[in-house]
Structure 1
Amino acid sequence: MVRVIIYVLVSIFLAIFSKVSAQSNKQSFCDTKEYTQFDFWIGNWKVYNEEGSLLGTNKVVKMTNACAIQENWESKNSNSKGTSYNYFNNKDNSWNQIWIDNKGGILRLKGKFEKGMMVLQSDLTKGEKGVYRDKITWVKQANGSVIQDWVRVDEKGKETKKLFKGIYKK
């Protein structure tokens, strides 16, 4: 009788252990296709302008406690520093970014990953020279670098001003 009880308990333990082990080997929720579309931006970067001058550094990390990517920017030539949080919203299938810097600047962007590009833009904003959106595009290059273009566009989507172009190199 004791042997039967021990046998049953061992069998139950092994069944539970194998189920837990199988679950732990499954892909993490944050590692599914949609949540990894912006992973090409993860890394420790030096950021250059088109002329090859160093603009600053950017440490972009995948957060281990959330399905998000954190950016940590530091300008070389000014005292500009900032952080963004980037996340995929599975309720509306959009990518989102909130940027906050050390000068009180805040930027909220929303968009999609399409055709190998992450394209995010702000809501329409009324400024001194009319209504505009901030639009930022990130594109991974064949050599592993990433190009980030930040432009201002009017309400029809026409570019009115180039704000930043950074070439990210690891």
Structure 2
Amino acid sequence: MLKLSLTACAAAICLMAAPKMAAATPAMTSNHAYCSAPAYRQFDFWLGDWDTYRIKDDKPGDVSVARNRVTSMLDGCALHEAYTRNDGYAGESYTSYDASRKVWHQTWVSNQGELNVMEGTQQGDRIVLSGEVTDGQGVQLQRVSWEPWQGGVRETCEGSRDGGKTWTVLFDILFRKHQA
């Protein structure tokens, strides 16, 4: 019985001390150094709360068609996008930099069952990602670029159904800071 009491007492002491010990243990604290290299900041121009405008003939429209929120997460190691169009369409993406391969990776999902996985690199002031999407018409290559433009961020998506010989603009939008 004494042995059980000592064990129970030791367990109680450990449980009371555990939060203090965990806070003081370096391995248990957040380490911002993991994603502090400049490459992880290449996409930071996209961070923000945005109103979304369609672009036609290189001119953005006057009416916002969606709201887009892009936030930094996991101590700056990833971006989370939450996109909601005025007509009910919604999607989210997670974007991260893979330092071992020196590429950006994005996974996009929507409330219409879409899944798009893309990878790419910074090219000048732009981030360009590409991937394949399979739908009822077969495989489509997609190429998406983001770049600072007119005080906001321009996102252009192009698709190709002939292996990249020809490309069609699927959408061209401008994100401007959200106006309350």
1:132 and 2:140 correspond: yes
Residues 79/27 of structure 1: CA separation in 2 closer, same or farther (3 Å cut): closer
TM-score of the aligned structures, taking structure 2 as reference length: 0.71
> One-letter code of the match for 1:139?
E
Match of 1:164 among 152, 155, 171: 171
Aligned pairs, number: 143
Percent identity over paired residues: 27
1:148 and 2:158 correspond: no
Give the deviation of 1:103 after TM superposition: 1.6
> One-letter code of the match for 1:59?
R
Cα pair 1:134 1:152 within 8 Å, conserved = yes
> One-letter code of the match for 2:158?
V
Give the deviation of 1:32 after TM superposition: 1.5
Partner of 2:47 in structure 1? 42
TM-score of the aligned structures, taking structure 1 as reference length: 0.75
String of CA shifts for 1:15-67, please: whole Å, max 9, x gaps.
xxxxx9xxxxx973323211110000000000111233211000000003461
Structure 1: gaps spanning 5 or more residues: 1-19, 21-25
Cα pair 1:124 1:155 within 8 Å, conserved = no
Cα pair 1:96 1:111 within 8 Å, conserved = yes
In structure 2, how many angstroms separate the alpha carbons of the residues matched to 1:138 and 1:88?
Answer: 15
Match of 2:35 among 30, 36, 40: 30
The alignment partner of 2:67 has SS state of: strand
In structure 2, how many angstroms separate the alpha carbons of the residues matched to 1:127 and 1:115?
Answer: 35
Cα pair 1:107 1:122 within 8 Å, conserved = yes
